[in-house]
Amino acid sequence: MTQYKIPVIPGDGIGPEIIAEGKKVINTAGERFGFDVEWVEFPHGADHYLETGELISQDTLKELSNYPVIYLGSIGDPRVAPGILEKGILLAARFYFDQYVNLRPIKLLDGVWTPLKDKTPKDIDFTVVRENTEDFYIGIGGKAKKGVSKNLLEVERELYSAKFGLDIETDSDEIAYQIGMISKEGTRRVIKYAFDLAMKRKKHVSSVDKANVLSDIYGFWRHEFKDIASGYPEITTDFNYVDAITMWFVKNPEWFDVVVTPNMFGDIITDLGAMLQGGMGLAPGGNINPEGTSMFEPIHGSAPKYKGQNKVNPIATIWAGSLMLEQLGENDAANAIVAAIEKNILDNKIKTYDMGGTSTTSDVGSDIARIVSSM
Ligand code: IPM
Ligand code: MN
């Protein structure tokens, strides 16, 4: 029997409740498909931070790097200022393990309600490949006050004035800035991942950018996209400005197969995607380093107001567990879990409040586990 050791970080808010259901389903899948998981619990999150001052240390990250996959609940707590835990734990892990692909399947399962009128599961089935280590997430930014900023702003305005032959007034005494940067290698590897994925699907890749305004950074993205595309003659492509793609997601989701996007736009459009597939309770994600340590989590946050109520939908986390098993090569178990989620939904009895039911988090987890064991 194959033995796996999987680190698990339940995290904050509803994290522990949903992770408990994910583990339950994976344990059952192991019994059914012949593998055994030893879970190694890590305490990182708000409580641990407030008690010890540790977000996640270099030593812990180093220890975690011995494993191919990590299972993560959710990070974020109202007792800690926004950004501290998210950047100090979640983004720290994404960057430390160089998880350059954020894989977010947007798939409407049979029986799930979508806010898009007239669209069915055959229309909503694409995957977003979000770049996960660059762009505006690199953490370079700051603020400057008074004299300095005035000068900076004047320089900026002069550049614009010179470029466009305009005379633009300057009047400000404080600035804030954040630098977005993408590298050639970082851009190429994620786009290549998207093309390789499309080869196994419907052979279409859509690029997202804002090359009409942020032309330095996303003109570069487009250039690299075209160069990679030339190596895949059997794949069709299209280019989308990020504002426009939000329209097409809503109007014509059936156009999409694999969508590859810079980090920040990917963050935004996958919340929209999650809604198309029935809501945040149903949207899984994987932070993937194909050669290193990958980390699987629901897209949703820690929903502190529901903490401890055994109320929220565990499906996104269970589905993320399926992506994790796929990464480990346990394809039969991974497929069985998604099929069991679909069956639970089609049975239409045991469902949480967000899907119009009254069942608990653990009821839904147990039902999906029961279905997996009968497959
Ligand atoms: C996500 C989240 C994170 C992100 C936050 C919590 C740092 O919104 O996984 O989409 O912006 O990537
Ligand atoms: Mn997000």
Tokens of 34: 């012949």
Residues lining ion ligand 2 (Cβ < 5 A) are 267
Contacts of 305 (CB under 8 A, 6+ apart): none
Which atom of ligand 1 is nearest to 271's Cα?
A: 10
Residue nearest to atom 4 of ligand 1 (CA): 267
> What 3-state class would DSSP assign to 330?
coil
Confidence band for 145, pLDDT divided at 50, 70 and 90 = low
Ligand 1 centroid to residue 152 C-alpha, Å:
31
DSSP state of 97: T
What average pLDDT does this structure show over 191-217?
A: 97
With CA atoms as reference, report the closest residue to 18 among 296, 317, 306, 234.
317
Instruction: Evaluate: CB of 272 within 6 angstroms of ligand 1.
Output: no
pLDDT, tens digit (0-9, with 9 covering 90-100), for 262-321: 999 999 999 999 999 999 999 999 999 999 999 999 999 999 999 999 999 999 999 999
* 50-77 average pLDDT score: 97
At 149, the pLDDT band (50, 70, 90 cuts) reads low
Kindly state if the Cβ of 205 falls inside 6 Å of ligand 1: no
* Mean of all residue pLDDT scores within the chain: 94
Residue 77: pLDDT over 70: yes
Residue nearest to atom 7 of ligand 1 (CA): 86
The pTM (predicted TM-score) of the whole model is: 0.93
The ligand whose atoms approach the alpha carbon of 263 most closely is 1
In the chain, DSSP assigns E strands to 2-11, 35-41, 69-74, 101-107, 125-131, 135-145, 174-181, 204-209, 236-241, 258-261, 284-288, 294-298
User: pLDDT tens digits, residue range 218-240?
Assistant: 999 999 999 999 999 999 999 99
DSSP strand pairing (294-298 vs 284-288) = antiparallel
The answer to whether the CB of 267 is under 6 A from ligand 1 is yes
CA of 308 to the centre of ligand 1 (A): 22
Residue 135 CB–ligand 1 contact under 6 Å: no
| pLDDT exceeds cutoff 80 at 33 | yes
Q: Is the pLDDT of residue 172 over 70?
A: no
237-261 pLDDT, tens per residue?
A: 999 999 999 999 999 999 999 999 9
Place of tokens 């679909």: 342
In 3-state terms, the chain is what percent helix, strand and coil (to 5)?
45, 20, 30
Tokens 């178990």, residue?
A: 333
Ligand nearest to the CA of 135: 1
Rounded percentage of the chain residues whose pLDDT exceeds 70: 95
